Structure formats: structure tokens, C-alpha cells
């Protein structure tokens, strides 16, 4: 079962978004990696954390949930079979793989596959 493990707030003004969410909600924002600022929303394990990023041209504004899956390749195959569109093919990072889809209703989602160590 895919579980929601994070969120991504996309904005063309990420610094303004960072100021807003940190001041209004007390979120802790870490220094950026690849124009993505990691966000901690609470100090307990029951909270969902995520990040704020400078939205790319194909998704300049909006919120995407990040769903952890066992296999991005299998999930993309199932999702496209049900009408989803791939926005970003599987990308590799140090500890995980990431891909972006748009579901058949137009909602953007991210898929995360953790690398086995």
C-alpha cells in the first residue's frame, strides 16, 4: 500500500512561501538542495514533513503529495494504464528515486522509492 510520506509546495516565490509558513505555522526550514528547502512541520513522528521548492515550468504552483512505493517502475506502469501522465520520469538521488505524475483528474503526485541499503 502506498503511504503518503511527504508534501511539496511549489512556488515561483519560494523565499516568500518559506517566510509565510515558518512565521505563521512555525515550520522549520533547512537550507536548500536543488532549489528544494526541506521542511519539518513538527518534532514528533506523527507529522508529515516535506519541502518548499521553486516550481518547475511544468508545475509552477501547487501542492503535490509524495507517495512511497516499492517500485516506481511498476507503479508508473499501473498508473499510466489507468490514465495518468508522467510529468518527470524516474530520477535518481542519493537515497531514493523520484518521479512525478498527473493523475487522470489533473492532480499532481510524486512517487518515492527508497533505495535498499
Cell of 102: 498527473
The yes-or-no verdict on residue 34 having pLDDT over 90 is no
Question: Has residue 117 got a pLDDT over 70?
Answer: no
CB 101 within 8 A of CB 108: yes
CA distance 82 to 44: 36
Per-residue pLDDT tens over the stretch 51-108: 999 988 878 888 999 999 999 999 999 999 999 999 999 999 999 999 999 999 999 9
- List the CATH number of the domain containing 7: 3.10.180.10
Cell 535498499, located at residue: 116
Domain with 44, as residue range(s), is 3-114
Angle of CA points 39, 43, 45, to nearest 5°: 95
pLDDT in tens, 60-71: 888 999 999 999
β-strand partners of 7: 50, 65
> What is the value of pTM for the model shown?
0.85
Task: Identify which of 94, 39, 89, 96 has the alpha carbon closest to the alpha carbon of residue 69.
Answer: 96
Question: How many structural domains is the chain composed of?
Answer: 1
pLDDT of 44 strictly over 80: no
Amino acid at each position: 500500500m502506498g503511504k503518503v510520506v511527504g508534501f511539496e509546495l511549489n512556488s515561483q516565490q519560494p523565499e516568500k512561501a518559506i517566510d509565510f509558513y515558518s512565521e505563521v505555522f512555525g515550520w522549520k526550514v533547512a537550507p536548500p538542495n536543488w532549489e528544494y528547502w526541506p521542511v519539518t512541520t513538527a518534532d514528533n513522528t506523527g507529522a508529515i514533513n516535506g519541502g518548499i521548492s521553486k516550481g518547475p515550468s511544468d508545475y509552477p504552483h501547487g501542492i503535490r503529495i509524495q507517495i512511497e512505493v516499492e517500485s516506481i517502475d511498476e507503479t508508473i506502469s499501473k498508473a499510466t494504464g489507468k490514465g495518468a501522465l508522467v510529468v518527470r520520469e524516474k530520477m535518481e538521488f542519493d537515497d531514493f528515486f523520484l518521479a512525478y505524475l498527473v493523475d487522470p483528474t489533473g492532480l499532481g503526485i510524486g512517487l518515492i522509492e527508497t533505495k535498499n541499503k
